[in-house]
Structure 1
Amino acid sequence: MSPQMRLTAITLDCPDPRALAAFYQRATGLALVRESNDDFAGLTRGDGLFIGFQRVDDYQAPRWPDQAAPQQSHLDFAVDNLDEAEALLLELGASKPRFQPGGDRWRVLTDPAGHPFCLTRSSD
């Protein structure tokens, strides 16, 4: 029998942990739970999921969809309305790359540190 694994944390490299945590806090409403000087910040959800942001010197942002600096990972967020969520996130500092492989099913955005993330329609 395989051990049971439960995802408890995701950590993203970035140049400015506090700024990236603030972006995701405003976007998701998650609670800020940890800041360690300027090198680390974290958010948490009620069920305990933790998203951390850690400073990396000479951070190189992924280049979506260019694989010269691949994305390596990305986050997906389910939303009720793709257009409204996209508009809010762009206002908060996200960017929208030209390459959009999801058509009307999902949108690819990048956070202020360049990490790609997707918006998908919530299941009804």
Structure 2
Amino acid sequence: MALVKAGVVVLDCAEPEKLAVFYKELLDAEQTHESANRVEIRGADGIRLGFRRDVNATPPSWPRPENALQAHLDFVVEDLDEAERKIVGLGGRPLETKDASGPYEERGYADPAGHSFTLRLVPSTAPKQG
């Protein structure tokens, strides 16, 4: 029998209820837990996210000038433009990148509390042409 039953990625934020709504709408998720300082959701594909109240939380800076890596979330989507419209409509924002020209297979965003996440296109299963 496994000692650990499940894992949850938890984001610290000043207002967990509001941040949970952002991700709940983005991931078409259901709320599974709420207490005074924590909200948890589960997406249709099983992803579990938690949001913990930290009244002193400050948004992470990304990308950092020294280009240090930070933890962030990655989500796979079929349509980057459609997903971006939804993210912006929910209060998220695109993040600047060093080279923002041309089409990309992935794009970076920040949620309303400033946590970074990336959208990646579902890899094509069609055979290469030519």
Structure-1-length-normalised TM-score: 0.83
Give the greater-gyration-radius structure (CA).
2
CA drift of 1:48 comes to: 4.8
SS at match of 1:63: coil
Structure 1 segments unaligned to the other structure (5+ residues): none
Matched with 2:128 is none
Identity of paired residues, percent?
A: 33
Root-mean-square deviation (Å): 2.6
1:44 is aligned to 2:42:
yes
Q: For residues 105 and 28 of structure 1, what CA distance do their matches in structure 2 show?
A: 19
1:13 is aligned to 2:12:
yes
Matched with 1:30 is 29
Matched with 2:94 is 96
SS at match of 2:94: coil
Structure 2 segments unaligned to the other structure (5+ residues): 125-130
Matched with 1:111 is 111
Q: For residues 96 and 17 of structure 2, what CA distance do their matches in structure 1 show?
A: 28
Q: For residues 45 and 104 of structure 2, what CA distance do their matches in structure 1 show?
A: 30
Q: What amino acid sits opposite 1:117 in the alignment?
A: F
CA displacement, residues 94-122 of structure 1 (integer Å, 9 cap, x when unaligned):
01122266861100000000000000001
Q: Which moved more, 1:49-58 or 1:105-114?
A: 49-58
